[in-house]
Structure formats: C-alpha cells, structure tokens
Structure 1
Amino acid sequence: MEYKKYSAGLMSQSFWFLEFKKVVGLRKDGLTYDEIKKKCVKENLFGAAKEYRALRMAGYIITRVKAMDDTLVELFCTSDLLTQKLINLIMILKTDRLFFEFIYEVYREKVILGADMMEEADVNIFFTRKEAQEELIADWKDSTKRHLRSCYLNFMTDANLLTVTGKVRKITPPILDIALERYLQSTGDEIMIKALMGEN
C-alpha cells in the first residue's frame, strides 16, 4: 500500500458509519461525487448544525468512498452490519497512513501475542516511537497526539475491534466475512487481513 505523508487529519473526523453508508448508497445509485456533496449539504443528510460542517463531513466521507471500487461498493451494500463497519474502517485505514501503522504495528502484534487488553499506554508508546522516526510527528502538540489517541481507540471500538466495559478495552478481533477476505486478497490488500486478524 502506498501512502502520502503522515497527517493528523483524523482528529477532525469521527467514525461516521451511518453517514458513510448513505454516501455509498448514493454512489451505487449513480450520483457523481459533486452531486453527492451538494445533496448532503442541501438536504442536510448528516444532520450537521452548520453548512460548513456538512461540507467538511461530506469531503472526508467522500474521500473514504473514493477508495472503493464498484465491486467493494456492491459488497458493502449486500453485507451484514459488522462487515459494513469493517469496510468503513478499512477505507479509513487506506486513507490515513499513521492509523494504519498503529493497527498493523500495535493491534496486530497484541492479537498475535494473545494480549487481552488495549491500554492508552499502548498508543502513547506508539507515538513516542513514531516521534523518534519522523520529525513531523515530533513537532505535533501533545494535545494533537491525545486527540488522535482518543480517535484511534474510539474508531476501533466503533468497528468492534475493541469491546469496552467500564474503563477496560478488551481486544476482540473480527471474524472476517469470506467475501470481504477474498476481495482483499484479489486486490492485493492481504496486509489489511493481517492487520485486522492478527496474522503474520
């Protein structure tokens, strides 16, 4: 997988599963991305408080949907809820280099080792390691890294990779739908399977 430079853009986003589902449906209906953006704003499909917020949300979500080919759009529309949430997560991972590296280097490793819990410290250690490797990340404010840590944990919970009880985040690797697994293999994205399932 090829990535652009590291970005903290994820801190402006949410998992937005229902919104993502709406946009995928509009794409399947044959609307262009410009038409989708206008419709999202004009009809306030996301229930945004302000027009600029609706525009920003539409921009972020359309970026995710643009990473999908027609086969994946069709697969999404015919999949169960858990698989649809995983596809949303995969599209976020495909468009955010740092979050993908966190899932691959931290979540995957913990699953391989049979660890039960994900701690905030796991995310902090990851950022400390990345700061040593990448000047751009070292220059980020502590508040930015705290916000991203929160995003990562929330996104993983929304996609059911983590199950939260009180303050405990239990690691719950997904059971990958066979159709999605075959799709990822056919498109050369086996690395996503390894990241999510905890495989070598």
Structure 2
Amino acid sequence: MVNNWKYSTTIKSRPLLYTETKKLADLILQGYNELKLKEQVINNNIFQVKSESRKRELASTILSRLNILDEYLTRCLIESDVETSKILVLYTIVRTDRLFYEFMDEILSEKLAFQDPVITDSDFNSFFESKRQQSNKVAGWKEYTFYKLKQVYIRILFESGLLLNQKGERKVVIPIINPDIIDHIKKHDDPRYINVLAEVEYEDDK
C-alpha cells in the first residue's frame, strides 16, 4: 500500500534510464536470471559507464523497477512503439517511488482532469511544501534535495514524452496508451498507479 511506502530521494541520480531499462528487459526475456543480468552490467559494461558503483546502482535500480512488470508487460516494453515503451518505463517509476507517484497523482493528473495542462515552478514548490508538512522525514531534507528532485522529475517527464519543454510553463501532453495494456494493468495491479498516467485518456475512449 502507498501508506506503507517509505519516502526516498534515490531518484535524484536515477532518471528515466529508458535505453538501459530496455537492454535489461530484453535480457530478461532471453531467460537471464538476476545473477547473469548483473554480470552483463558489471563485467560486460552494457550501460557504458566507468564507475563500478554506478554500474551496481543502475543494475539495482532498473531490476527493482522491472520486477513489477510481468512477462506480458515486459514484452510490451520491448516490442511496442517508442511512446508506449517509454510510458511503461515511467509506470515502473510510479510503482517504485512513493514521492514521484504522489506528484503524478496530486499534480499532473489533477491538472489534466481540470484541463490545466501546464506545470510551473510554483506547482513543484507547493507540492514539496505540502510533503514537508505531512512527513517529518521529508521536512528534514535539505533545500538542495528538493532542487535536485525537481530537476529529475522534469527530466523524467520530458524524456517520457509527457512534457513538451523543460523550462518555464511546461506544457503537459496526455499520453496515448494501448487500451489492452491499460486493461491488463488494471486487472493485475492496483489501478491507481496506471490511472495517474492514463485515466483521462482512458475515460475519453469509453
């Protein structure tokens, strides 16, 4: 449940990672287990990064995200068009990061629902201030942490196709997602997680 999730700031250095996620998803479909996957990342450096610690960090992050996808969704991530594939990667972040999920639920989906598809700096400021008031843990974070979180949120949304631009009044794009994927997720997972990405579009299609 969301209420049992712990707030974390690890996302600061772990953005969308779309290309890296697709690489590991492809290996998973080929039958690689977790040990073999980590060997590919660390020994063969499939992510092309220099630091050993960064290799391990990326492997751990991406595997934890991919663990929430079943075989059908993993295959969709690999075989679908780029837009759908990126939304599935975004979905894995929504499912594994509480603060990001709450941002999507309380800010982005609300703006789409009220046809106010622009995210401004004040939206981020209001959101983070609200979380400070709700959580002692979040209240203890430094101002620079919120600055970095804001940066990575914007980058994730832009790279996943949900923002047209990264500065100023950032225009939100409603994602178009294959209804079969939405139906599958709603049948096999708590629908709130896909609703923050697809509820508006899905309802319009009914």
- TM category (shorter chain) comes to over 0.9
* 8 Å contact from structure 1 (residues 173, 198) kept in 2: no
Task: Supply the distance in 2 between the matched residues of 1:21 and 1:197 (Cα, whole angstroms).
Answer: 21
Does the aligned pair in 2 maintain the 1:162–1:172 contact within 8 Å?
A: yes
Structure 1 stretches of at least 4 aligned residues deviating more than 4 Å after TM superposition: none
Higher mean C-alpha displacement, 62-71 vs 30-39: 62-71
- The answer for the alignment partner of 1:5 in structure 2 is 6
Q: Alignment partner of 2:177: what SS?
A: coil
Taking the TM superposition and a 5 Å limit, the aligned residue runs for 1:48-87 are 48-87=49-88
Q: Secondary structure at the match of 1:163?
A: coil
| Aligned AA (2:85) | Q
Check the 8 A contact 1:64/1:95 in 2, yes or no.
yes
Per mean C-alpha deviation after superposition, the further-off stretch among 180-189 and 102-111 is 180-189
CA pair 56-69 structure 1, distance change in 2 beyond 3 A: same
Task: Report the count of equivalent residues.
Answer: 200
Percent same amino acid among aligned pairs?
Answer: 28
Q: Supply the distance in 1 between the matched residues of 2:125 and 2:42 (Cα, whole angstroms).
A: 37
| Alpha-carbon distance in 2 for matches of 1:166, 1:128 | 21
| Superposition map of 1:87-126 within 5 A | 87-126=88-127
CA contact (8 A) 1:11 1:148 kept: yes
Contact 2:155 2:166 survives alignment (8 Å): no
Q: Which amino acid aligns with 2:69?
A: M
Paired with 1:116 and 1:88, the residues of 2 have a C-alpha distance of 22
Deviation at 1:18, TM superposition (A): 0.3
8 Å CA contact 2:158–2:166 kept in 1: the answer is: no
Return 5+ residue gaps in structure 1 as ranges: none
Aligned position for 2:191: 190
Query: Could you give the per-residue CA deviations for residues 157-199 of structure 1, whole angstroms, max 9, x where no partner exists?
Result: 1111111176441110101112211111211332133211354
Tell me the CA shift for residue 144 of structure 1. Answer: 0.5
Counterpart check, 1:23 vs 2:24: yes
The answer as to whether partners of 1:111 and 1:197 remain within 8 angstroms in 2 is no
Task: Please report how far the alpha carbon of residue 84 of structure 1 lies from its aligned counterpart in structure 2 after TM superposition.
Answer: 0.7
CA distance in 2, matches of 1:188, 1:69: 11
Counterparts of 2:64 and 2:46 in 1: how far apart (Å)?
Answer: 17
TM-score (norm 1): 0.94
Does 2:157 align with 1:156? yes
* SS of structure 2 residue aligned to 1:132: helix
